[in-house]
Each structure stands twice: as structure tokens, then as C-alpha cells.
Amino acid sequence: MSAQSDNWIDIAALDAVPQRGARLIKTAHGCVAVFRTGIDEVYALDNACPHKNGPLADGIVHGKAVTCPLHNWVISLETGAAQGADTGQVATYPAKVVDGRIQIDASLLTHRGVA
Amino acid sequence: MTQKLVVIGAGMASGRVLEHLFEANADYYVTLFNAEARGNYNRIMLSPVLSGEKTYDDIVTHNAEWYTTQGVTCHFGTPITSIDRAAKTVTSTEGTVPYDKLLIATGSAPFIIPVPGKDLDGVVTYRDLDDTNAMIDAAKSGGKAVVIGGGLLGLEAAAGLAERGMDVTVLHLMGHLMERQLDEAAGFLLRRDLEKRGITVKCQASTTAILGTTRVEAVLLDDGETLDADLVVMAVGIRPETRLATDAGLSVARGVEVNAQMETSDPDIIAIGECVEFDGQLFGLVAPLYDQAKVVAKTLMGVPDVFTPKELSTKLKVTGCDLFSAGDFAEAEGREDIVFRDPARGVYRRLVLEDNIVVGAVMYGDTADSNWFFGLIRDKTDISDMRETLIYGPAFQGGAPSDPLSAVAALPRDVEICGCNGICKGQIEDAVHAGATDLGAVRAVTKASGSCGTCTGLVEQVLAVTLGDEFIAPAAASICGCTDMTHEDVRRMIKSRELKSMPAVWQECGWKTSCGCHICRPALNFYLLADWPMEYTDDPQSRFINERKHANIQKDGTFSVVPRMWGGITTPDELRAIADAADKFAVPTVKVTGGQRIDLLGVKGEDLPAIWEDLNNAGMVSGHAYSKGLRTVKTCVGTDHCRFGTQDSTGLGIKLEKTLWGSWTPHKLKLGVSGCPRNCAEATCKDIGIVCVDSGYQISIGGAAGMDVRETEPLCQVKTEAEVIDVVKAVTQLYRENAKYLDRIYKWVAKVGLDWVKESVADLDKRTALKARFEHSQTVYRKDPWAQHVAKSETYRPLADLTLEAAE
Ligand code: SRM
Ligand SMILES: Cc1cc2nc3c(=O)[nH]c(=O)nc-3n(C[C@H](O)[C@H](O)[C@H](O)COP(=O)(O)OP(=O)(O)OC[C@H]3O[C@@H](n4cnc5c(N)ncnc54)[C@H](O)[C@@H]3O)c2cc1C
Ligand code: SF4
Ligand code: FES
């Protein structure tokens, strides 16, 4: 379960991220990738593949998953878990869209992954 | 009291009658005469015996044990010489035997064209095992065979002899092969496939004489040409074997005349098979004979039944020549055609319609759906509702297409699966439910696929559908898990149904995922932009990161930057600009690539637009070192400096690179231009290579030097630079329009055949059209993506920078 918080930070307009694409947020802990799916859901994950730290934001987004650009691991955007035969986990962060704006849980600034 | 049944001829038709009689425990004492010195075998499988795929033992249908068990008295190698209807006896060399009922099943005899030399040693026909063995023997010493007759039998003989190493020529009187079953287009494809196996085909060839003193030496044609021959096979047709019936005074037209109960003009004499004529019709395939056999058995048992001829279909049993024909496909008033051609795959389909009913079908290359079409013809189905997509077959009817298995699953129980034996889907299902869980068992129980075997795949599919999870069917390679369709099927759909967006493809092709995956999306994106350059907008999100960001991703997530150096030529100013950029952006590695240009490795993603802008300002553009598109055109110094150079290889390389750059292709495309055959530009291991010679330019394609190393194969030689550029554009476009995504040129050529590629660019009309389509597409894509992305540099930066935000 994701930790609940009412401390949401406004990040950017939804349209700043292409459908089936991602953009980065720089944080003190490293880069977090914000994904937008084909049906306009948003997800936030550490931008480092559990395999060899591949930049997930540069992958191909399909359904609720992203394929890492380096060696094609498929990572669930919902859980951060590697799919199929691969094992590994990326930290995920609560994210949502309100009035066409992307918001991220501010706990992201203090904690590592919460999910 | 047990009646005496005498059978003349132990062929495929009478064999089936006996099976029915014994299955029904009919009260007959059977005496069987056969002119051949053996019992019943599957005659239609003689071709696989000839080609070596099967042995005689494999094709025996009734062995000695079977005859003994059934109590049949056999006289093999014993032809009947006369019938005495008054005394009700038959006479053979061994004596006279009485009958209560007589079955004439003498089949037919090969037609021998009455030319001088027809009786020479080494002239054979193709009818029985002895003929087959004679051919096999003749082939042992190799040499040349001439097959007279380009119909079903002739071609199967030709293929078998070629398989056994003979140098085979087929002579055919008509304009194209199998003209009774195929139209010209299919005949052409068949001819091409046979020629690929080294068989020479001569149409409109009329034989005047067979030459030789004691044995055959040559064949003389009416145009005066002589062809050397060690073996001549006559396969020009068959005649019903009616001599006994005629002598006995039975009513005989072309064949022995029978009524719908298969009785001859003498009710105690029944006839069946190729020797009969019913309602003016003769029979030359087993399917109708098997129907007749059911009727004969009933008639003999006094049960009323009626023989009705059905629509027939033909397939050729030559491995690799997939053809199908059924019904009537002659052109006529009021008839319309639907034609589909896929030259790349050698696929041709034609349906002939009359009043919204399919009356004929010819297919070549892909006959997977032939049974479905055959069903439409036989059932006279009104096809008005599916006219638009009819030609694509059952998978495309009624909503989203699905896998071939569900097409089979959707077939009604009474659809015929095995044409030879008249076995319907329901009978196979019943057999499976009764415990026949593999092909062999189904075949043993139902006979389905046991005759000519061409329906084997379909029978397996019915098995798979009926058994469900218990059956693992060998699946055709689909693009990925999102679809059951192959790359080829999807490309075909995109073109024929004019699918111009990715969602359209997903919908119309029944994608199983909401929006594809990293395997299918890049392929679809390419197919769509290659086929609809004006209508479709490239989708960066369906591209691998390198193509999306126009740079090669590195293992640490940074990127490399490779500007174009046209034809490998650079200037001090360019080099200075590269050096400045390397300094400014702290590029850790500067490397000369294997493609005659400079790679700046280790650039941060967010710096890309800025470094590009600097390079752009110095007149440089993206080198597409990352693209499934034109990479480099490698050149040598050529006539400018080299003492051996024959043409301006550097200049031509630059022109080619400036023409082709920016184009997207199924895989990367690399060219090389060498100034002379010393080939310093390694042109003959590129996708397209040009070697300059005194008389012009040798263009060759299909080289590679990566995971596979290949030398190019010659495409053509031309005289001028302009022609080189035209040919290169045309062949590139042909490749874009037809190849499977991620096939380099050499893989594609291996699939479609170099000859087809050669023909397509040699034909000046085609070349011009291809070139025009290439240019059309280039009006969209010959643009520097770096310059375009500099304008969108925002997207290369982080969405937000929270590093300075105070942590609580
Ligand atoms: C930079 C370079 C090596 C070098 O330092 O010289 C290079 C680098 C890469 N090559 Fe290459 N290839 C380079 C010349 C070649 C050559 C030689 C040539 O072009 O003359 C070949 C063999 C010729 C050929 O293609 O047939 C070559 C055959 C491959 C292959 C195998 C392709 C195949 O079909 O077998 C791959 C893998 C692929 O494409 O799937 C590949 C893939 C790659 C990738 C893109 C691997 C990747 O996906 O990340 C490398 C990117 C490195 C980077 O970050 O920049 N590279 N690569 C060369 C760039 C040439 C250029 O200026 O554009
Ligand atoms: C090489 C080849 C390939 C073929 N391929 C196909 C195919 O793919 N599909 C298809 O549907 N059909 C095919 N056919 C045709 C098919 O084999 C025939 O339609 C079928 O065999 C005819 O059966 P039948 O019983 O009428 O005659 P046959 O099978 O020819 O049997 C007649 C028998 O009668 C015997 N006989 C004749 N006269 C006498 C006599 N006076 N006394 C005693 N015995 C006599 C003959 O020796 C012969 O054994 C092929 C034929 C050949 C030769
Ligand atoms: S050969 Fe090519 S793909 Fe392999 S490590 Fe070198 S540059 Fe990379
Ligand atoms: S780093 Fe992501 S798959 Fe290897």
C-alpha cells in the first residue's frame, strides 16, 4: 500500500509528457521518471532499471509497463517489479493528475521509495 | 446363399468398395483380378515414391494379410481377357471363373501420342508402380529426362526426376502449365518455382518424333529443335480402360456408361472409377471415386443410393509448389474477378464471381484457406456481405480476425476437411472424442489426410481445436505476443485495408493488448510511414530511444553524437567545430568510427540539443548513426587522387548519401562506392555496393559484415551516375515496401529471391515508379532531425528540478 499524504506538489502540465512517454524529475536522491500511459494515467518510478540502472524514462511505454532501453527488461509502472522471468524492483512514488496537472507526493523529497 | 462377386482391377476405387462391403459384413465371396502383379496401393502417392519421400511399402493400402483375413481370392498379375455375359463368367490366362455380380474397375490407360519412336526403350508412361520403378532406375545413371505433358502427372514426374538428380525438361503443348486447373498468372508462378529447382519448361512445344535406334536418344520438336534425352516420360492424358466392356457388348461412350447406382447396361455388371462415364462425365481424381464406392457397395447390398458428382478441387503434390484450383475460372460475360497478388511472397489468389457466388478459385503460394473457398464454391454461398475482404480468407470475415485456429473452430461440422476421402470436420471431431488424439490415430480411424495428404495441416488444426490445451500446435511466427498475425499479414492488411494509424492496425488486426509492445510498435511505425508517408505521422514513442532522441544511448545512459561526413569527406572547419563542441561539452571520448566519420561519445541527454545546435551552425547534420535508415556511404578516393580510379567514387558516394539520407528503412542501410575493383571502400560487404569499372558501375546488393558476413550479389551494371542513383533509389524503395522490419537487405533478398529484385529494377517503368515513390517519401523525411529537435530542446530537459526544494 502506498503511504497516504496530503502533501502533493504540482510538477507540470500533463501535456508536457507525451502519451506513452516519460520525463525526468531531478531530486536530491537522483532522477525520478514520470510516465504517462496511453490512457493518461501517470506513474513515478526511480529512473534506474533494477538490472543495470538503465534509464527507464528512455524506454518504450506499453500498457502499464515500460521496456528498459538497455536490455529490454519489462518493468511494471504500477508496482515497479520486473516482469516475466526477470526479478528486481524499482521504487515507485504516488503520482496523480488533477485538472490536467501532474502532482507528486512530496514525501518523494524526503524518502526513498514508498511503495 | 453367399453370392459370388468378381472384381476386375485392384485399384483405388474397387479397394474402397471392398472395404465398405466387409465393414458391412455383406454376404459375398470375392474373387479379385488385377493386371498389375500386386494388390491395392495408394496410386496417388506414387509421386512421393518417385521423389524418394516414401517407399512402396508406405503406400500399400491392402496387404496379403488383409486379403487373407477378408477371404478374398486374389489373382494378381492376371488380366481378365474376356467377359461372357450369357454364361456369367470371366476368363483370364488362368482360366474361367463364374460370377453372380461383376465389378469392372479397370481404371484408365495412359494416352500415348502416336509419334514415331513411341515404342523405343526408355519411353515410359506414368501410371503404376512399374512405371515409377522404371523411372527410378533410369534416374540412377543421371542424364537427361524429357517429360511430355505439363499437367498434374507430368509435373509430379518432372519434380521427382529432378529430385533424383536428372536434368529435366518439361514439354507442354499449351501456353502455360496445368492450363486446365490454373490461369496464366498462377501458371507463371508455378513455372518459376519449377525453374528454381532446375527444371526447364517449354510451353507451346509440340513433339514430332522420338529419336533413337534401339533406345531413346532425343526428342524432336515441330520447330526443328532436338532435345537430348535418356528418358522420355509421356504424361499427356489418360483414356478410360474400356476394352473388356466394349467387347462384352456393354454400352460404352468415352467410358463405360453407368446409371446413378453405378450399374452398366447389364444390371449384374457394375462399374466404377476412371473407366466409367456418368451423365457424360469422366472422372480422374479419387474424391468422386470414393463417393462412387459408397454407392457401389450399397447397390451390391440392395440398398438404394444415388451417386451425385460434386465440385472438384486440385492440388499438386510437389513440395514447395503450393497451388489450389477449383471450379470454373474461365472469363465470361457477367463474371467478375477478385485478384490478390503479393509478388514479394509469390502469392496469387483469384476468385471468379458470378451473381455474388464464387464459381472458381485459383491460388498459388498460400493455399492455407483453400478449403474455405472450396466450401463457398460447393455450397454456392452468397458472398455479397463479405465481398470487400473475401479474398483475404476466413480469418478476415465477421469482425476482428483471430488466429487460424479460431477460423477452424468456427467451421461448421459438415465442412469437408479431407477432399479425397470426403471427411468432414464433424467426423474428425467424433474420432477425437472417441480417443484418437494424434494425427496418426485420426488418419487410421477416419482416413482423413490419408490419401494425398495435402489437408494434413488442416486436420491437425481440427485436432488442436478439439483437444484444446492438450494439443501443442506448431505456431507460425507472429510478430509478438500482442497478435497472432505475421509481419507479412500485417503489412498486407495495412496496404489493402488502407490502415493509416496505429490504432487502426490494432483494431482491424485484433491486437490482444491495448497498445502493443516494444516489439510490435517499432515495426508498425515503420510499416505505416513506409506505406503512407504523407498520411501517417511518425510516432516517436514507438521508437527505440536511439531513434527517438536521435543519438545512441550508452551503457551509462549518456549518448553519442555522430555528425554526417558526406562520403567520408570533411574539412578543417568541420573538424574545428567538432573539436570545439567536444571541448565545450566535455566529451570524454572522440573516436573515428568504422563508417568514416567521428563519434563524440558520452554526451549527457540534456546537452544533446545544444551540441547539435553548435554542429548545425557549422553546417553539419545528424549522421543517423542510430537509425534503421541510411547510415553511411563509404567511399574511396577514386579518380581524384588514386592512380587506379576509374570513376569519381567519392563524388558518387556523396551524391548517394545526399539522396538517401533521412530515409527510414526496415533495418539499417549501408552503402559503399569503390573506384575500382581493388575495392578499398569494401563496397561488396555493404547492403548496396557500387564498384566503378572503366565501362560504368557494377551495382550489387545484400552484403553484410556484422553477425553474418556476406558478399554482395550482382544486381546490374549501368553506364552513368544518374542511372546508379535511380537504381539505388528503386531498390531501396522496393526494400522499404516489402521487407519485414529488422531484415537487412540480404535477409530480405533470401526470402523474395534476387531474380525478382532484379526484374523489378530492370523494368524501366517499375524502376521509375519506385524511384518516384522514394522521392515522394523523401520530401517528408530528408530533413535534419537535429535541427528539428533543437527547436524542441525543452523536452530534453527535466520536467522539474526538485533538488533545491527544501527537504522537510
Ligand atoms: C560507432 C561504431 C563502432 C566504431 O566505433 O567504429 C558502431 C557502434 C555500434 N554499432 Fe555497429 N558500429 C559501427 C560500425 C559498424 C560496422 C562497420 C561499418 O558500418 O562499416 C558494422 C558491420 C557492417 C554491417 O553493418 O554489416 C556494424 C555492425 C553492427 C551490428 C550488426 C548488424 C547486423 O545486421 O549483423 C549491430 C547490431 C544491430 O544493428 O542490431 C551494431 C550496433 C551498433 C551499436 C548501435 C550498438 C547499440 O545498439 O548500441 C553501437 C553503438 C555505439 C555507440 O554508442 O555509438 N553494429 N557496425 C561504428 C559506427 C559507424 C558509423 O559511422 O555510423
Ligand atoms: C502418379 C499419379 C498421381 C495421382 N495423383 C492424384 C492426386 O493427387 N489426387 C487425385 O485425386 N488423384 C490422383 N491420381 C489419380 C488417381 O490415382 C486415380 O483417379 C485412381 O487411381 C483411379 O482409380 P481406379 O480404381 O479407377 O483405377 P486404378 O487405380 O488405376 O486401378 C485400376 C486397376 O485395374 C487394373 N486393370 C486394368 N485392366 C485390367 C484387366 N483387364 N484385368 C485385371 N486388372 C485390370 C489395373 O492394372 C489397375 O491396377 C493420380 C494418378 C497417378 C497415376
Ligand atoms: S562491436 Fe559494436 S556493438 Fe559490439 S561493443 Fe563494439 S561498438 Fe558495441
Ligand atoms: S539495464 Fe534495464 S534491462 Fe539492463
Pairing mode, strands B416-418 and B357-364: unpaired
The answer to whether the CB atoms of B555 and A26 lie below 8 A apart is no
∠ CA B229-B233-B235, nearest 5°, is: 145
Average pLDDT over residues B120-144: 95
What pLDDT is attached to residue B347?
A: 77
Q: Is the CB of A43 under 6 A from ligand 4?
A: no
Average pLDDT over residues B451-455: 64
Is there a contact between A50 and A75 (Cβ–Cβ < 8 Å)?
Answer: yes
pLDDT at B94 exceeding the cut of 70: yes
pLDDT at B596 exceeding the cut of 60: yes
What pLDDT is attached to residue B409?
A: 78
Q: Which ligand is nearest to the CA of B554?
A: 1
- Does A3 fall in a domain? no
Alpha-carbon distance of B791 to B610, in angstroms, equals 10
Out of A23, A61, A72, name the one closest to residue B799 (CB). A23
- What percentage of chain B reaches a pLDDT higher than 90? 66
Average pLDDT over residues B411-432: 83
Alpha-carbon distance of B665 to B629, in angstroms, equals 5
Alpha-carbon distance of B251 to B271, in angstroms, equals 11
- Does A1 fall in a domain? no
B-chain CB neighbours of A97 within 8 Å are none
Which of the four pLDDT bands, split at 50, 70 and 90, describes residue B331?
low
What pLDDT is attached to residue B589?
A: 96
- The mean of the pLDDT values for chain B is 90
Give the tens place of pLDDT for each residue, B597-618.
999 999 999 999 999 999 999 9
The answer to whether the CB atoms of B802 and A27 lie below 8 A apart is yes
Alpha-carbon distance of B501 to B399, in angstroms, equals 18
Q: Which of B543, B545, B552, B621 to mutate to test the pocket of ligand 1 (most atoms within 8 A of CB)?
A: B552
Alpha-carbon distance of B396 to B746, in angstroms, equals 32
A-chain CB neighbours of B513 within 8 Å are 62-63
What pLDDT is attached to residue B802?
A: 84
What pLDDT is attached to residue B9?
A: 97
Q: Is the CB of B625 under 6 A from ligand 1?
A: yes
Amino acid at position B76, single letter? F
Q: Which ligand is nearest to the CA of B745?
A: 1
DSSP state of B470: G
Give the tens place of pLDDT for each residue, B7-28.
999 999 999 999 999 999 999 9
- Core vs surface per residue B773-782: b (16+ CB within 10 A) or e: bbeebbebee
pLDDT at B385 exceeding the cut of 60: yes
* B509 labelled binding-site residue: no
pTM of the model: 0.53
Amino acid at position B304, single letter? P
Q: Please indicate whether residue B234 or residue B409 has the higher confidence score (pLDDT).
A: B234
CATH superfamily of B403-470: BFD-like [2Fe-2S]-binding domain (1.10.10.1100)
Reply yes or no on domain B3-108+240-300 having CATH 3.50.50.60.
Answer: yes
pLDDT at B513 exceeding the cut of 80: no
Q: Is the CB of B454 under 6 A from ligand 2?
A: no
Reply yes or no on domain B112-236 having CATH 3.50.50.60.
Answer: yes
The nearest alpha carbon in chain B to A34 belongs to B799
- Does A21 fall in a domain? yes
Q: Report CA(B43)–ligand 2 centroid distance (Å).
A: 6
Alpha-carbon distance of B569 to B681, in angstroms, equals 13
Average pLDDT over residues B730-756: 92
Give the tens place of pLDDT for each residue, B240-268.
999 999 999 999 999 999 999 999 999 99
The ranges assigned to domains in chain B are 3-108+240-300, 112-236, 313-396, 403-470, 487-542, 546-622, 630-781
pLDDT at B472 exceeding the cut of 60: no
pLDDT at B410 exceeding the cut of 90: no
Cα–Cα distances in Å, from B749 out to B668, B712, B735? 15, 11, 9
B-chain CB neighbours of A59 within 8 Å are 518, 545
Beta-carbon pairs below 8 A across chains A and B = 93
The CATH number linked to A28 is 2.102.10.10
* B636 labelled binding-site residue: yes
Q: Please indicate whether residue B79 or residue B425 has the higher confidence score (pLDDT).
A: B79
* B680 labelled binding-site residue: yes
Residue B330: exposed, middle, or buried by beta-carbon count in 10 A (0-12, 13-18, 19+)? exposed
Reply yes or no on domain B546-622 having CATH 3.90.480.10.
Answer: yes
How many domains does the structure of chain A reveal?
Answer: 1
- Does A45 fall in a domain? yes
Task: Tell me, yes or no, if the two domains B3-108+240-300 and B546-622 fold the same way.
Answer: no
Average pLDDT over residues B527-547: 93
Alpha-carbon distance of B608 to B627, in angstroms, equals 16
Average pLDDT over residues B684-709: 95
Q: How many residues does chain A have?
A: 115
Pairing mode, strands B144-148 and B231-234: parallel
| Three-state SS at B171 | strand
Pick one of 3.40.50.150, 3.30.110.40, 3.30.390.30, 2.40.50.140 as the CATH number of B313-396: 3.30.390.30
Which of the four pLDDT bands, split at 50, 70 and 90, describes residue B475?
very low
Q: Is the CB of B591 under 6 A from ligand 1?
A: yes
A-chain CB neighbours of B538 within 8 Å are none
Q: Which of A46, A47, A49 to mutate to test the pocket of ligand 4 (most atoms within 8 A of CB)?
A: A49
Which residue, among B775, B669, B655, B645, has the nearest Cα to B721 in the 3D structure?
Answer: B655
The nearest alpha carbon in chain B to A111 belongs to B807
Tell me how many helices (H) and strands (E) chain B has. Answer: 26, 39
- Core vs surface per residue B356-394: b (16+ CB within 10 A) or e: ebbbbbbbbbbbbbbbbbbbbbbeeeebeebeebbbbbb
- Does A29 fall in a domain? yes
What's the grid cell of residue B306? Answer: 444415388
Cα–Cα distances in Å, from B741 out to B532, B666, B670? 16, 5, 16
Query: Residue A87's domain spans which residues?
Result: 8-109
Beta strands in A8-53 (DSSP E): 8-13, 21-27, 30-36, 42-46
* B515 labelled binding-site residue: no
- The mean of the pLDDT values for chain A is 87
Q: Report CA(B285)–ligand 1 centroid distance (Å).
A: 57
Average pLDDT over residues B397-423: 69
Which of the four pLDDT bands, split at 50, 70 and 90, describes residue B344?
low
Report the CATH fold assignment for B630-781: Sulfite Reductase Hemoprotein; domain 1 (3.30.413)
| Helix, strand and coil in chain B, % to nearest 5 | 35, 20, 40
Beta strands in B481-620 (DSSP E): 552-553, 559-561, 589-592, 598-603
Q: Is the CB of A80 under 6 A from ligand 4?
A: no
Which residue, among B138, B112, B133, B164, has the nearest Cα to B46 in the 3D structure?
Answer: B133
The answer to whether the CB atoms of A54 and B545 lie below 8 A apart is no
What pLDDT is attached to residue B536?
A: 92
DSSP state of B331: -
Alpha-carbon distance of B338 to B136, in angstroms, equals 42
Neighbours of B203 (CB within 10 A): 16
The answer to whether the CB atoms of B553 and A16 lie below 8 A apart is no
The answer to whether the CB atoms of A34 and B807 lie below 8 A apart is no
Out of A21, A55, A108, name the one closest to residue B557 (CB). A55
Q: Is the CB of B594 under 6 A from ligand 1?
A: yes
Residues in A whose CB is inside 8 Å of some CB of B read 9, 11-12, 16-21, 23-28, 31, 34, 38-39, 52-55, 58-63, 67, 69-70, 72, 74, 102, 106, 108-110
The answer to whether the CB atoms of A26 and B802 lie below 8 A apart is yes
The nearest alpha carbon in chain B to A54 belongs to B557
Give the tens place of pLDDT for each residue, A45-94.
999 999 999 999 999 999 899 999 998 899 999 999 998 878 899 999 99
What pLDDT is attached to residue B398?
A: 56
Alpha helices in B333-403 (DSSP H): 370-379
